[in-house]
Amino acid sequence: MFDRIAGFYDVMNSVMTAGLHHRWRERAADLARLRPGDRALDVATGTGDLAVELARRVAPGGEVIGSDFSQGMLERARTKAPELTWEWGNALELPYPDDSFDAATVGFGARNFSDLDRGLREMARVVRPGGRVVVLEITTPQRPPLSTFFRVWFDRIVPLLGRLTGESLAYSYLPSSVRRFPAPEGLAAAMERAGLRDIRWILTAGGIIAIHVGTKQG
Ligand SMILES: C[S@@+](CC[C@H](N)C(=O)[O-])C[C@H]1O[C@@H](n2cnc3c(N)ncnc32)[C@H](O)[C@@H]1O
């Protein structure tokens, strides 16, 4: 599915979020608290926008790897930023040693993990003690008027936009994957189970976007 939507993924993101997704990625990258020379991993990187944001913070001298299991998505990322490292990898079985990154991030990818706990454990494993794990994700707002807007947007408009792209399945999958994903407190609990501490999160875009950060125990 991700290979098939790779060609118009960036355009759809901009249309669906009115371009705001860049701002959310900047905030997620800030929470990774990277410094020049650091190493960072962006899991389920897709077309690589969050990895590019991380790369700005580790320069000069640092390294960012964008990892994904869709070659179609990775091709787009490579075209966008050939100077970064783009590698095939399954988030549930990351091909990296323990403690090898200063931070690991995932943007709009965690809700696609078939096993969320395992994906978070893997991210925590590859981060060094004291390093950060950041999860940027869509969340379901609980209170009106945003909850009403969210239902109309996700259940009616997004699938309609998806139909225009010819990939209606992918864009009706999106709202259902958001609904299945835990609320911010539940995600924080899952991050704690993965061995992360000092977990906090910010809600933005009127409570539709949650950005969680946790630190690996020393
Ligand atoms: C909605 S896209 C998000 C892409 C990007 N991170 C962003 O912020 O736009 C979800 C991505 O997760 C990837 N993905 C889902 N499950 C994965 C897994 N188990 N291992 C690696 N990549 C995965 C898909 O291939 C897809 O590129």
Q: Is the pLDDT of residue 7 over 90?
A: no
Displacement of CA 112 from its chain's centroid (Å): 10
Q: Is the CB of 49 under 6 A from ligand 1?
A: yes
Those residues whose C-beta lies under 8 Å from the C-beta of residue 126, and which sit 6 or more positions away, are 41, 94, 96, 97, 98, 99, 100, 101, 104
User: Does residue 207 register a pLDDT over 90?
Assistant: no
pLDDT of residue 31: 98
Q: What mean pLDDT, rounded, does the chain reach?
A: 93
C-alpha of residue 106 to centroid of ligand 1, in Å: 8
Q: Convert the pLDDT of each residue in 11-38 to its tens digit.
A: 888 888 888 899 999 999 999 999 999 9
pLDDT in tens, 49-62: 999 999 999 999 99
Residue with the bigger pLDDT between 150 and 90: it is 90
Three-state DSSP at 132 gives: strand
Supply the pLDDT for residue 157. 87
What local confidence, expressed as pLDDT, does residue 17 receive? 83
For residue 131, what pLDDT is reported? 98
pLDDT of residue 15: 81
Substitution candidate for ligand 1 out of 23, 25, 68, 114 with most atoms within 8 A of CB: 68
pTM for this structure? 0.94
For residue 171, pLDDT beyond 90: no
Structure tokens given for 117: 């706990």
Instruction: Give the per-residue pLDDT at 51.
Output: 98
- Please name the residue whose Cα sits nearest to atom 25 of ligand 1: 70
Is the minimum distance from the CB of 173 to ligand 1 under 6 angstroms? no
Instruction: Provide the 10 A C-beta neighbour count for residue 56.
Output: 12
Contacts (Cβ under 8 Å, ≥6 apart) of 41: 64, 65, 67, 94, 96, 101, 103, 104, 105, 123, 126, 127
Could you tell me if the CB of 109 is within 6 A of ligand 1? yes
Q: In this predicted model, what pLDDT tens digit does every residue of 76-126 receive, in sequence order?
A: 999 999 999 999 999 999 999 999 999 999 999 999 999 999 999 999 999
The pLDDT of residue 170 is 79
**Higher pLDDT among residues 105 and 2, named by residue:** 105
- At residue 36, the pLDDT reads 98
Report in angstroms the alpha-carbon separations of 67 from 85, 87, 89, 133.
9, 5, 5, 15
Give the rounded percent of residues in the chain with a pLDDT score beyond 90: 69
